């Protein structure tokens, strides 16, 4: 396929001719044309024609579980460009027209199970097209919840999850992180529900739209990667946490959520002191129902968060620090392709740790960094070598290597050059590349130009290319050790040498200390020892989902049948992959015994999960739940 390389100046001039600067403060970021910037998970040909802005006018239909209406796309085309290629995954398209209503020919190409299909539109001279459509019944971005699956049990709920390539199932656009777009939206919903999105909320109370419905309007003036366009609709209440922070959730969850997240405003101020101004206006948090598949999703202005972080002791608000940090690494400077997702998650995991340390103290930061090292060692042990490169597979590295190997890389640079110099560099890096895509090669070039500056000794000590492009962990990796976790290790040593579980006092343990203890127990345990663990530490009945998950994994690995009832209660009501995937995998790893239990539980739980979780578990358990 032939690509037209358009100079950056031409891009800016063309888009300004279409849209006034006052309406769109960010000029389109230049498209990277190096081979490593080609997004193999998108059908788009941005050097020929690219989307710069999306206007959505959509209605949410809970009866049919569809979203439908129009998407108007502003297009920037190279000279001679007569068609644009969008990404489509199951959209039901009625028509495509230009801004004057004239029909435009289009064709949906061959469908790939993972990527979807190319949607090619013959645009002629048009630079704005309007797609009339609705989402399909299997839209992978859309989580539809019946009232029974919400906290209030009375009203339905909808939320979207765009990362990495799911938004093409409800928005016809070029669904690639390197093709940043501004957007607006008008969303019409039942009048007893509230809509929120990842942009400025222009109509917080909604506007009557007739037939028992009302509409909300939203705007995102900054160009963002399209996976960050997010929507939720439900019975939502709001409470401010500070001048520019607040929390949305169902009314029955609001008090607990607000108490747990009360440090959010302080986190934002702390992050700004580290790496420069917060550029997105508000930072609000939406605490979702339990089926949300991730700990959090960094949607601009509105982080989506799992309720599993609400444990009453703030020991899991590092998730919020992580999603907030994405406001710089990921949202402000974005990986150009999914082969470089570590530029998003590795940077953010490092930044998150710095926020936690500044807000909660050095001991807390060291504890989280040490656990990150544990998780890194686990993944390195279990992964194949080719799965451990930072720059690599567009579907990511093994496990959490993008997060933990990436963060360890940055921490290693920090120790080598000193924190003041490193912080000054990172702050300037975010400024230089604000609202632009980035590749691994681009980051290393920037690092060499603006930090190393020809220092051959420093270059040799850092071993940058080995970190970025080769498997495994370089020998210069920095391991932060936690005194808090050292005490847990001492307890583990006593227990593993035969001390009674009753001698363990976990009453003041944080979630992180619990995880160090439970994950540090030998994987092979006798039924008597497991019974002692459960009886003395009350594991099967734990209200902390992190603790319960770690315990159930150990129980499954040992075929401990008394814990099956706890699994059957826990797995259907929690949708977070981090907490349920390990339990299902541990069961599946126990042959027919475990697989039959997993399939039986999954048959009841499947309807509670997000489509992305269902896809993973269908594959793990044999494509279909047991009847």
Catalytic residues: 323, 403
Neighbours of 486 (CB within 10 A): 12
Assigned token pair, 557 = 């690995």
Q: How far apart are CA 200 and CA 220, in angstroms?
A: 6
Cα 490 from Cα 484, distance rounded (Å): 10
554: left (phi over 0), alpha (psi -120 to 50) or beta: alpha
For residue 487, count other CB atoms closer than 10 A to its CB: 12
**Measuring CA to CA, which residue among 181, 150, 156, 155 is closest to residue 167?**
181
Question: Sign of the C-alpha dihedral, residues 470, 475, 478, 480?
Answer: positive
State the Cα–Cα distance between residues 218 and 196, nearest whole angstrom: 8
CA distance 403 to 231: 26
Going from the C-alpha of 15 to that of each of 20, 70, 82, 127, 147, the distances in angstroms are 8, 22, 17, 10, 45
Say how far residue 272 (Cα) sits from the centre of its chain.
21
Instruction: Compute the distance between CA of residue 191 and CA of residue 605 in angstroms, rounded to an integer.
Output: 30
Which residue is it, tokens 């500070």? 242
* DSSP-assigned letter for residue 500: -
CB 148 within 8 A of CB 617: no
| Helix/strand/coil (H/E/C) assignment for every residue in 138-172 | CCCCEEEECHHHCCCCCCCEEEECCCCCCHHHCCC
Rg for the chain (alpha carbons), in Å?
Answer: 25
């Amino acid at each position: 396929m032939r690509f037209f390389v358009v100079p950056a100046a031409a891009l800016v001039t063309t888009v300004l001719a279409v849209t006034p600067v006052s309406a769109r403060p960010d000029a389109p970021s230049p498209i990277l044309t190096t081979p490593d910037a080609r997004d193999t998970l998108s059908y788009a040909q941005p050097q020929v024609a690219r989307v710069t802005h999306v206007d959505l006018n959509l209605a949410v239909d809970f009866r049919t579980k569809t979203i439908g209406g129009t998407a108007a796309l502003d297009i920037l085309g190279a000279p001679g460009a007569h068609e644009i290629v969008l990404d489509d995954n199951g959209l039901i398209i009625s028509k495509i027209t230009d801004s004057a209503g004239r029909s435009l020919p289009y064709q949906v190409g061959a469908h790939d199970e993972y990527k979807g299909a190319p949607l090619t539109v013959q645009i002629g001279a048009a630079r704005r097209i309007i797609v009339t459509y609705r989402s399909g019944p299997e839209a992978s971005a859309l989580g539809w919840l019946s009232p029974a699956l919400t906290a209030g049990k009375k009203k339905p709920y909808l939320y979207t999850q765009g990362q990495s390539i799911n938004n093409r199932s409800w928005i016809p656009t070029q669904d690639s992180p390197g093709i940043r777009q501004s957007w607006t939206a008008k969303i019409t919903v039942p009048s007893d529900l509230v809509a929120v999105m990842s942009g400025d909320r222009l109509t917080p109370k909604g506007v009557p739209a007739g037939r028992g419905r009302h509409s909300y309007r939203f705007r995102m003036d900054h160009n963002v990667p399209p996976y960050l366009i997010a929507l939720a609709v439900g019975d939502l209440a709001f409470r401010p946490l500070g001048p520019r922070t607040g929390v949305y959730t169902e009314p029955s969850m609001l008090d607990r959520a607000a108490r747990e997240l009360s440090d959010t405003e302080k986190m934002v101020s702390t992050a700004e002191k580290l790496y420069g101004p917060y550029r997105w206006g508000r930072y609000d948090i939406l605490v979702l129902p339990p089926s949300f598949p991730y700990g959090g999703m960094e949607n601009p202005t509105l982080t989506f968060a799992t309720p599993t972080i609400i444990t009453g002791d703030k020991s899991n608000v590092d998730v919020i620090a992580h999603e907030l940090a994405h406001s710089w690494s990921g949202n402000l400077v974005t990986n150009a392709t999914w082969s470089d997702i570590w530029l998003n998650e590795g940077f953010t995991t490092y930044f998150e740790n710095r926020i936690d340390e500044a807000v909660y103290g050095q001991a807390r930061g060291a504890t989280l960094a040490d656990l990150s090292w544990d998780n890194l060692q686990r993944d390195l042990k279990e992964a194949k070598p080719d799965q451990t490169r930072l720059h690599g597979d567009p579907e990511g590295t093994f496990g959490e290597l993008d997060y933990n190997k990436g963060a360890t890389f940055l921490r290693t640079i920090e120790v080598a050059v000193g924190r003041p110099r490193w912080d000054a560099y990172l702050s300037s890096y975010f400024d230089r590349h604000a609202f632009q895509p980035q590749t691994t090669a681009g980051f290393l070039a920037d690092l060499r130009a603006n930090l190393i500056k020809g220092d051959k000794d420093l270059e040799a000590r850092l071993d940058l290319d080995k970190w970025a492009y080769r498997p495994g962990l370089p020998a210069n990796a920095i391991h932060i050790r936690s005194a808090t976790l050292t005490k847990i290790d001492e307890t583990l040593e006593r227990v593993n040498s035969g001390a009674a579980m009753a001698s363990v006092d976990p009453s003041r343990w944080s979630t992180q200390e619990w995880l160090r203890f439970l994950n540090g127990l030998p994987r092979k345990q006798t039924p008597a020892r497991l019974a002692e663990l459960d009886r003395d530490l009350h594991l099967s009945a734990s209200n902390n989902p992190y603790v319960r998950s770690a315990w159930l994994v150990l129980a499954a690995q040992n075929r401990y049948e008394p814990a099956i009832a706890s699994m059957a209660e826990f797995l259907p009501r929690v949708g977070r992959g981090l907490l349920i995937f390990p339990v299902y995998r541990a069961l599946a790893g126990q042959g027919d015994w475990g697989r039959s239990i997993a399939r039986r539980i999954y048959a009841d739980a499947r309807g509670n999960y997000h489509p992305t979780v269902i896809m993973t578990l269908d594959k793990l358990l044999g494509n279909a739940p047991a009847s």
